[in-house]
């Protein structure tokens, strides 16, 4: 185990594994939601995570962000095992996510939602806030700069003072991405960001995901049911079925993989994903 301290972000070379799932299993009662899953997300890549409904994709996110502890196996981020780290600590470490079912702070403004994300690295305490200490003022200023900049990147700058719940569906999806990006992550995990989008919106989203990687330099892990989108934007794709990884590789190879074809045969996952919006996180 490396002896680097928790606070400093360990260094990784470009293309090396930023996040690794190592033989991760998780059991819910009698159901093995993940069964010995291993894959790496390499620094700087866009990795697509696909699979039929209930395959365990969202569960992967939950294990990676500390929502669930794996029954066995280990998740490492930049070489460090996540262990029993708290969820907020994992966020500070550099993993941010969005939710399959939008989970914004509905009664806060769009800007405030993003500010909460930006606050992830802030240290202002009660005394700071009460006396408006230099630290408080600096963090408020920086937080707002970050938030507005990220919102601009996502084309939300004009909706800043709107209540999150009053934004349009597409704006809410983008606001979730903005909030996650404001935590300054190294790895951004998007859980079905295109659900409910029309083709034009999907094309825009594809462009956005590319810019997140190319312009912002983030590594992206993308769960998506829309094959065109996920194959078009991902560098590599991993496929889950019944909690097991059945394939991993370049989009062309995965698309022609017999196991993948069998998994998807007749399931019409494209449509199913858009209407099945259950699940906790």
Partner 1 sequence: MTEGKASPDTEPASARSMAWGPRLGWDRGALARRVTALPRPVKWALIGLVVVLLYALPLLEIPIVSTPDTDFGGVLFTVASYVLVALGLNIVLGYAGLLDLGYVGFYAIGAYTVAVLGSLQAQLSWWLLIPLAVVLTTISGILLGAPTLRVRGDYLAIVTLGFGEIIRLTALNTEWLGAAKGITGVPRPPSVELFEVPHLKWEGATAVVDLDDTTRFLFFGVADQTPYYWLTLTVIFLVLGADRMLRLSRIGRGWEATREDEDAAELMGVPTFKFKLLAFACGAFIGGLSGALFASRQGFINPESFLLLLSILFVAAVVVGGAGNRWGVILGAVVVAYLPERFRGFEEWRLLVFGLALLLLANFRPQGLIPPRRAKRAQAVDEQLEALEEGTARA
Footprint of Mg ion on this chain (CB under 5 A)? Answer: 57-58, 100
Q: Which is nearer to ligand ATP, 8 or 278 (CB)?
A: 278
Q: Of 36-75, which residues contact ligand ATP (CB under 6 A)? A: 51, 53-59
- Written as six digits, the tokens of 62 are 């939950």
Q: Which one of 27, 208, 274, 279 is in contact with partner 1 (CB under 8 A)?
A: 274
225 belongs to the binding site for partner 1 (CB under 8 A):
no
Q: Which is nearer to partner 1, 11 or 130 (CB)?
A: 130
241 and 209 Cβ atoms separated by less than 8 Å = no
Q: Of 5-64, which residues contact partner 1 (CB under 8 A)? A: none
Whole-angstrom CA distances from 128 to 138, 140, 224, 231 are 11, 11, 43, 48
CB of 157 to Mg ion, least distance (A): 30
273 belongs to the binding site for ligand ATP (CB under 6 A):
yes
**Closest by CA position to 118, among listed 165, 175, 181:** 181
* Residue 276 site contact among partner 1, ligand ATP, Mg ion, none (CB < 5 to 8 Å, cut-off depends on kind): ligand ATP
118 and 183 Cβ atoms separated by less than 8 Å = yes
Q: Which is nearer to ligand ATP, 182 or 223 (CB)?
A: 223
Count of residues that interact with ligand ATP, criterion CB under 6 A: 16
What does the binding site for partner 1 look like in residue numbers (CB under 8 A)? 65, 67, 86-88, 91-92, 96-97, 99, 101-109, 112-113, 115-117, 119-122, 124-126, 128-130, 132, 136, 139-140, 143, 159, 161-172, 179-180, 183, 195-197, 274-275, 277, 281
Residues that bind ligand ATP in the complex, under the rule CB under 6 A: 28, 31, 33, 51, 53-59, 100, 273, 276, 279-280
């Amino acid at each position: 185990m490396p002896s680097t301290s928790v606070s400093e972000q360990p260094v990784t070379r470009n293309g090396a594994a930023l996040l690794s799932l190592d033989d991760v299993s998780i059991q819910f009662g009698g159901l093995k939601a993940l069964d010995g899953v291993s894959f790496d997300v390499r620094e700087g890549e866009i990795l697509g995570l696909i699979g039929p409904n209930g395959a365990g994709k969202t569960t992967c996110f939950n294990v990676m962000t500390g929502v669930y502890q794996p029954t066995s196996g280990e998740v490492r981020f930049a070489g460090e095992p996540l262990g029993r780290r708290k969820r907020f600590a994992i966020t500070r470490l550099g993993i941010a996510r969005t939710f399959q079912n939008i989970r914004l702070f509905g009664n806060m403004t769009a800007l405030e939602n993003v500010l909460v994300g930006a606050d992830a690295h802030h240290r202002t305490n009660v005394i700071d806030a009460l006396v408006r200490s230099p630290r408080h003022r600096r963090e408020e200023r920086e937080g707002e700069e970050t938030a507005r900049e990220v919102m601009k990147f996502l084309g939300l700058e004009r909706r800043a003072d709107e209540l999150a719940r009053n934004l349009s569906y597409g704006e809410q999806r983008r606001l979730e991405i903005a909030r996650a990006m404001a935590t300054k992550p190294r790895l951004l995990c998007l859980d079905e960001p295109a659900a409910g989008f029309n083709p034009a919106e999907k094309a825009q989203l594809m462009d956005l995901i590319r810019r997140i990687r190319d312009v912002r330099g983030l590594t992206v892990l993308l769960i998506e049911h829309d094959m065109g989108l996920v194959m078009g934007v991902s560098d590599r794709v991993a496929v889950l079925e019944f909690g097991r990884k059945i394939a991993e590789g370049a989009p062309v190879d995965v698309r022609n993989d017999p196991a993948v074809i069998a998994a998807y045969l007749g399931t019409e996952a494209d449509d199913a994903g858009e209407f099945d919006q259950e699940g906790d996180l």
